[in-house]
Amino acid sequence: MLLLCNYYLTYRCNAYCSFCNFADHEQFGKTPLAKIEDVKSNLTQLAKLGVKFVDLTGGEPLLHKDIVEIVTFAKELNFQTSITTNALLYHKYAEQLAGKVNLLHFSLDSPDRDEHNKIRGVNCFDAVIKSIELAKSLGEYPDILFTATNETFKKLPLMHEIALKYDLVLIVNPVFSYFGNPGLSMEAVDYITEYIDGKKNIYINEAFLKLRKDGGNKTSDPKCKAVSRVIVISPDNRIILPCYHLSNESIAIDRPIKEIRASEKIKYFKKMEGRFDFCEGCTINCYFEPSFAFPMNYYSLVSISSKVKYSYNKLIKQKIAKRKNLSLQDNK
Helix (H) or strand (E) holding 157: helix 156-165
Check: CB of residue 10 under 8 Å from CB of residue 24. Answer: no
Print the domain residue range for 114.
4-331
Amino acid at 74: A
* Residue 297 pLDDT: 78
* Residue 70 pLDDT: 98
Among 52, 55, 70, 43, smallest CA distance to 7 is for 55
Number of domains in the chain: 1
Amino acid at 291: S
Q: Which residues of the chain have pLDDT under 50?
A: none
- Other Cβ atoms closer than 10 A to 27: 10
Among 44, 97, 100, smallest CA distance to 75 is for 100
What CATH number did the domain enclosing 132 receive? Answer: 3.20.20.70
Check: CB of residue 143 under 8 Å from CB of residue 171. Answer: yes
**Pairing of the two strands 238-241 and 249-252:** antiparallel
Strand order in the sheet with 238-241: 202-203, 170-174, 143-148, 103-107, 80-85, 53-57, 4-8, 230-233, 238-241, 249-252
The values of phi and psi at residue 27, to 5°, are: -105, 20
Among 143, 47, 128, smallest CA distance to 87 is for 128
Amino acid at 146: F
Alpha carbon distance 41, 46 (integer Å): 9
Alpha carbon distance 281, 234 (integer Å): 25
* Residue 322 pLDDT: 63
Amino acid at 16: Y
